[in-house]
Amino acid sequence: MTPRAGTPALIASCLVLGVASVVAVPVTLGLGWDEVVYVSQHDPHGPAAFMSAPRARGVSVLVWPVASWLESTVALRLFLTATAAVSLGLAFGVWARLVTHWAVAPVAAASYATLWVATFYANAAMPNHYTAMAAVAAVGCYLLAAGERHRPGAYLGLVAALAVAALMRPADAFWLGLPLLAASLLVRRFRRWPLVAATVAGLAAGGVPWLVEAELRYGGLGERLRQASEVQGGTGLRFSLWEVMSTLDGPILCRPCDSPLRWPAALWWVAVAVLAVLGLRAARRAGVAPTAWLPLAVGASMAFPYLFLISYSAPRFLLPTYALVLTPAAYGLVGLVRATPAHRRKLLAAALVAGLAGHLAIQVVILRHVVSEQLRARGDWARVAQALWSHGVRPPCVVSGHEAIPVAYYAGCRALEDRGNNRNATTAELRRTAATTSFAFLVRDGAPPAWVRTWQRVPVRGLSAPGWVLYLPDRPPGATT
């Protein structure tokens, strides 16, 4: 059958992701911390949040058509749902031209769409889904370009996919491009200079904005990398598999990682590993082994920094790896069905249906829990913002302290921090600002710094997470210190 035979099934997989995201994740869900940072860069109704050294501006570019003119979270989430579904179809559509059976690409796309982390982030202003889709498309275009037929479009696709990855997450793009360059140098069938040139060109095209900003804002690439490492708690060889596994069922950020692992969430890892091995075997027998081992190699490379270089984890970090590994896994599943004798297919079908039902049940339970937690947490930020307004802290205003960035965004204020990963001011600057501007310092379950302890103390009631306190200057704005 032709590659087009799987188009309806691939479109259905995209619809599954979009519909599941809209149904399971309310489009009214307030923006999360990272989303605030990206969206605020083009929000005409409030100040831009501080962007720390590791961040890139790809998501800000993505949301610009909506965020720059329409102050509507609902519109933004619907827009992002559409872009997530379309990107899923574009990425796995490349693979429809590579694999030997029409069902492989739709099955891989549908498998990705059933993961709770993919569903949760499908309508989010976050880079990981788009990095994942760029990785899938890049590996597919690389293989098409390296094929026996001359495909100029595949080279352009490779450049574009790598540029998107680098624009979204430059560090992930590095680990994506590294095995592709290695394959071009070490594997005879891939030893083509146009492949090397296209890979380098794509990474450079997407990485230039980040590099230019490193020179203009940080004084050079080395200093930006140093600060990025500092923000991430220092990078160095360590074994973080347990931290990664502990986030399989949430939370969405584990820093520090002290969450217990509930083993049902890890069962799909086992299933995918078995199917990937079967996929390697099936691809080798079909004479298309690189369509299985190359995505596995690139997926392992993109997982490496999160398993061995940082001490914290978030489930979204491995979305590119999941998307890549699911392609050979889908190959293995399709091959298993085709290789099963006719008289045993009913038994196999029953086992697959039971396995799918169990998988979906686990993913739905996790997703509902995560969404519920985020509704409470983001609702608290909105209520703290309302408390600020009720006590006269209104734009133009400045907020500092606990979770100042999201609260400041919800209140229409600017966030300034003199400590932590988002430090963008000195303590002296904060004190001067507090003396001349509408200002509040936020504390939760702790003591404020010495220089605000004499201020008016206002506990915030009615929150799902207790212990929030506002500290407001006793003197009115404009008073001298």
Residue-averaged pLDDT of the chain:
93
Do 320 and 441 fall into the same domain? Answer: no
| Inter-residue contact 410 to 385 (CB < 8 Å) | yes
Do 279 and 386 fall into the same domain? Answer: no
Confidence label for 239 from pLDDT (cuts 50, 70 and 90): confident
Do 140 and 282 fall into the same domain? Answer: yes
Quote the pLDDT of residue 481: 36
Around Cβ 43, how many Cβ atoms within 10 Å?
A: 20
Packed helices 170-186 and 152-168: angle between N→C axes, nearest 10 degrees: 140
Tokens of 140: 């597919």
Do 331 and 412 fall into the same domain? Answer: no
In a domain, 360, yes or no: no
Give Cα separations from 214 to 131, 315, 378, 425 (angstroms): 21, 28, 32, 19
In a domain, 84, yes or no: yes
Express each pLDDT in 8-32 by its tens digit: 999 999 999 999 999 999 999 999 9
Most confident stretch, 40-44, 263-267, 458-462: 458-462
In a domain, 216, yes or no: yes
Decide: helix, strand or coil at residue 459.
Answer: strand
Check whether 157 has a pLDDT greater than 70: yes
Check whether 478 has a pLDDT greater than 50: no
Do 320 and 415 fall into the same domain? Answer: no
Do 77 and 172 fall into the same domain? Answer: yes
Q: How many domains does the chain have?
A: 2
- Helix ranges restricted to H, 286-344: 290-308, 319-339
| Sheet (strand 414-415) strand order | 414-415, 397-401, 438-444, 468-472, 456-459
Could you give phi then psi for residue 466, rounded to 5 degrees? -75, 170
In a domain, 359, yes or no: no
Express each pLDDT in 194-230 by its tens digit: 999 999 999 999 999 999 999 999 999 999 999 999 8
Do 439 and 313 fall into the same domain? Answer: no
User: Residue 465 sits in which domain range?
Assistant: 374-472
Quote the pLDDT of residue 71: 87
Check whether 480 has a pLDDT greater than 50: no
Tokens of 450: 């010495």
Do 279 and 411 fall into the same domain? Answer: no
Nearest by Cα to 138 from 113, 157, 114, 112 = 157
Do 203 and 319 fall into the same domain? Answer: yes
Tokens of 427: 């303590």
Decide: helix, strand or coil at residue 392.
Answer: coil
Express each pLDDT in 385-422 by its tens digit: 999 999 999 999 999 999 999 999 999 999 999 998 89
Quote the pLDDT of residue 2: 57
Do 386 and 333 fall into the same domain? Answer: no
* Separation between Cα atoms, residue 259 and residue 315, nearest integer Å: 13
Return all residues near 83 (Cβ < 8 A) that are at least 6 apart.
62, 130
Q: Is the pTM higher than 0.85? A: yes
Domain boundary among 321, 339, 357: 339
Do 322 and 400 fall into the same domain? Answer: no
Check whether 62 has a pLDDT greater than 90: yes
* Separation between Cα atoms, residue 318 and residue 175, nearest integer Å: 12
In a domain, 481, yes or no: no
Nearest by Cα to 304 from 196, 134, 174, 185 = 174
Residue by residue, DSSP assigns 427-453 as HHHHHHHHHHSEEEEEEESSPPPGGGT
| Inter-residue contact 121 to 28 (CB < 8 Å) | no
**Strand 468-472, strand 438-444: pairing:** antiparallel
* Separation between Cα atoms, residue 5 and residue 376, nearest integer Å: 44
Q: Average of pLDDT values for 86-112?
A: 94
| Inter-residue contact 158 to 145 (CB < 8 Å) | yes
Express each pLDDT in 26-59 by its tens digit: 999 999 999 999 999 988 888 999 999 999 999 9
Domain boundary among 313, 339, 365: 339
Tokens of 452: 């605000």
* Separation between Cα atoms, residue 328 and residue 340, nearest integer Å: 18
In a domain, 277, yes or no: yes
* Separation between Cα atoms, residue 450 and residue 244, nearest integer Å: 37
| Inter-residue contact 366 to 262 (CB < 8 Å) | no
Express each pLDDT in 315-367 by its tens digit: 999 999 999 999 999 999 999 998 899 889 899 999 999 999 999 999 999 99
* Separation between Cα atoms, residue 372 and residue 25, nearest integer Å: 9
Domain boundary among 312, 339, 366: 339
Q: Average of pLDDT values for 270-287?
A: 94
Quote the pLDDT of residue 152: 83
Do 298 and 394 fall into the same domain? Answer: no
In a domain, 441, yes or no: yes
- Owner of token pair 């949301």: 63
Quote the pLDDT of residue 460: 97
pLDDT, greater one: 32 or 3: 32
Around Cβ 27, how many Cβ atoms within 10 Å?
A: 17
Give Cα separations from 119 to 14, 58, 133, 327, 378 (angstroms): 11, 20, 14, 18, 19
- In the chain, % of residues over pLDDT 90: 82
